[in-house]
Amino acid sequence: MKFFNLFKKELKEMLNVSTIVTMVFTVFVMIMAGDAMSGAIDEAEEESSSITICNFDDTEFTKAVLNFLENPAGGEKNEVEYVTLESDDYVSELKRLDLKNVVIIPEGFAQKVENSEQAKIIYVSRMTSLSTVSNISTGSSSAMSLIEAAVKSAFYTSKVQTGALKENEVTMLENPVEIEEHTVVADKSEKVAAALIIAATQMSQMFLPILVFVLVIYSSQMLLNAVATEKIDKTLETLLSAPVSRLTVLSAKMLAAGVVAGLNAIVYMFGMSKMTSSVSNITTDSVDGLDEILKNLGLTLSAGDYVLVGIQMFMTILITLSISLVLGALAKDTKSTQTYIMPVMIMAMIPYMLSVFVDITTLSPVLRYLVYAIPFTHTFMATQNVMFDNMTLYWAGLAYQFVLLVLCMTYAVKVFTSDRIFTMTISFGKKKKQSEEHE
Amino acid sequence: MEKVLEVKGLSKQYKKGVYASQDVTFDVNKGEIFALIGPNGAGKTTTIRMISTLLKATEGDAVVAGHSILTEPDKVRENITYLPDEAGAYKNMKGIDYLKFMAGIYAPDAAKAAEYVERGKEICALGDRLNDKIGGYSRGMARKLLIARAIMPQPALAIFDEPTSGLDIINALEVRRMLKDLAQKEGMSFLLSSHNMLEIEYVSDRVGIIAKGHLLEIGKPDELIKKYDAQNLEEVFERVVKQ
């Protein structure tokens, strides 16, 4: 009985209306994020399963290979789109034809097979982001495998079964098709496999969002707790009744939180750059000149790029601080400060998860603009925008962040310089308590 | 007699039309201890917060040392110190650092700040414990430190909400004596707020009885006791409120 009474009391304390509202809200947001991600993944999968072929080898053999590609034995029919490239300037050709990737069968393909020489096909893919899902191309991979299988089968029929197989032909049978891969990034193209680029950039792609996420949560928690603790301990009343302007108190608080968050960012960045360089060195060392290729493709950040990414990070911190200041003013007790950090956390979590897995620019318009409305999204996308030359998106994001910062800051200043800093509360369903007002 | 505080028709109305305090009028003379007494939720803290420039008055005005809370809040803050009820201090700060920090805000220069700190040390009488972090202080020690902080800059008007809350009987008595001494010998003025009417009866020169946001009666404790034919201030309060 005693235990049950105690348990009931503890449960009531912990499971209050605000906790339940937070839980429901979190689940709702998670479901939304999940839907957004699955939508983007479905879309990416659909796009990735398409096969685009550019055939320069007008021979019966190649036609037979492509026929096999369209109607593989024992498999489902493949939809194949045929295009004609007018030049080997893959950047402009992919742009002109609005293609994500294309498999090129060069002239003389059949002749090489006929001569028992390794035949070559060229695979060109355009990278629009470094996210995992956006770079999957199952269609092209299976197309190349099917072409290879068709060549192998033809070779087997013509050579192996007749028993006229020479030594060099045995080696050729093992690897009948050479795949030459080209990757296009923005307006640059390099002879390199996209998979290699993804492997080399994976660490930076993973860790920069983590850094932004940590920064947002850290700076938010710091200022929110600072304001909430001062309010709860009533040291804020002491301070604001002293001969010092409220704006001075506010500026000192925000600057201190900004400095500590900035220091934290520098420490994290240093640690992570050391960690990522060690890990990515393993990848880049394994391929000659990969560093140079990444640089040529614009997939390494220059000093100017770091400044651009840094500006958005700074904006993010300032927006976080102004939002946290208002949330801190809402706090009634230490328990509520934990609840009020949730909106910031969720706002950071959605774009963080999305940016790692999907290319946000490919989300459906409604979802995309909803995600763009979250100010932190633009910072998570900053590196990608700079690397892939999406500068319109970068500047638009920065402008949006600036407008939002002005609005948030104005409201935060309004709260801090008015009665609201002492009287503001949130009530979930219940009639707003006005105990403060009646004292 | 020189007036340190003049409160004229001060009101605080919230959006829903609820008055936390309404048409409150009183004054505090130099060297006087004036106390607002009333139960919780009577409007004491709201009135005090308006005078301390923390909340904006919706009607009326208060003038502190010649400065209006509406038009010159910065000047008002230079002439007051405010000690909220159950106020805390920065737990990670040492007691001495807290005194230095607050002295730095109130003092016009470093020399004056050092003078304030010496005075603060003397008032709180915490000795070597001032070198400890405030988080390790008992509630009484922290309250003494806060009282010292509020008195050390010798403001024209010190505003204390429940001045002895958290103090034991001996420390509470010491504080009451100190307040009386400061008012009588140094001419400091105090505006106190309390629901401990026996304390107020002992320490105050005049009291204002406040209930449901209205100031119902003002007078010297002994005169009010006589006027309402009561034994003490508590009985006076009961009769005033019931009227």
* CATH number of domain containing B208: 3.40.50.300
Domain match, B145 and B162 both: no
Residue A438: count of CB within 10 angstroms of its CB: 19
Half-sphere exposure of A316 (CA within 13 A, CB side): 33
- Nearest residue of chain A to residue B101 (CA atoms): A239
Tell me the CA distances in angstroms from B117 to B78, B107, B114, one per residue in order.
Answer: 17, 10, 5
Domain ranges of chain A: 20-42+201-279+295-428, 50-192
When divided into structural domains, chain B yields a total of 2
Domain match, B61 and B97 both: no
Instruction: Give the architecture (CATH level 2) of A50-192.
Output: 3-Layer(aba) Sandwich (3.40)
What's the gap in Å between the CA of B51 and the closest CA on chain A? Answer: 10
Domain match, B63 and B165 both: yes
Domain match, B75 and B93 both: no
Domain match, B138 and B180 both: no
- pTM of the complete model: 0.76
For residue B38, give the 3-state DSSP assignment: coil
What's the gap in Å between the CA of B226 and the closest CA on chain A? Answer: 29
Asked whether the beta carbons of B178 and B203 are under 8 A apart, the reply is no
Single-letter code of the amino acid located at A179:
I
What's the gap in Å between the CA of B37 and the closest CA on chain A? Answer: 12
Q: Give the residues across from A123 on adjacent strands.
A: A103, A181
Which residue, chain included where needed, has tokens 């009291």?
B207
Domain match, B37 and B144 both: no
Q: Which two tokens stand for residue A15?
A: 């499971």
Domain match, B58 and B175 both: yes
Contact list, A237 vs chain B (CB under 8 Å): 49, 52, 54, 82, 84, 87
Domain boundary among B99, B134, B154: B154
CB-based contact, A238 to chain B, within 8 Å: yes
CB contact under 8 Å between A418 and B56, yes or no, is yes
Alpha helices in chain B (DSSP H): 44-51, 73-78, 95-106, 110-124, 139-151, 169-186, 197-203, 221-227, 233-242
Domain match, B75 and B94 both: no
Domain boundary among B154, B175, B207: B154
What gap in Å lies between CA B144 and CA B37, rounded to an integer?
Answer: 22
CB contact under 8 Å between A439 and B80, yes or no, is no
Please give chain A's pLDDT, 439 residues, in tens. Answer: 778 887 887 777 777 777 777 778 778 777 877 776 777 667 666 666 678 889 998 888 888 888 888 887 766 777 888 899 888 899 999 889 888 888 899 998 888 888 878 888 898 988 877 776 666 666 777 788 888 888 877 777 776 666 666 666 777 777 788 888 898 988 888 888 887 887 777 766 667 777 788 888 888 888 888 888 888 888 889 999 999 988 898 888 888 887 887 777 777 767 766 766 666 665 556 666 777 888 888 877 788 888 888 888 888 888 998 998 888 888 877 777 777 888 888 888 888 888 877 788 878 888 889 889 999 999 988 888 888 888 999 999 999 999 999 999 999 999 988 888 888 876 655 444 444 444 4
Radius of gyration of chain B from its Cα atoms, rounded to whole angstroms: 18
CB contact under 8 Å between A437 and B18, yes or no, is yes
Contacts (Cβ under 8 Å, ≥6 apart) of A419: B54, B55, B56
Show the domain range for B93: 88-154
Strands (E), A96-218: 101-105, 119-127, 177-185, 188-190
Asked whether the beta carbons of A247 and A239 are under 8 A apart, the reply is no
Domain match, B217 and B139 both: no
Half-sphere exposure of A379 (CA within 13 A, CB side): 30
Domain match, B236 and B160 both: yes
What gap in Å lies between CA A66 and CA A52, rounded to an integer?
Answer: 11
For B54, which of A241, A243, A244 is closest by C-beta distance? Answer: A241
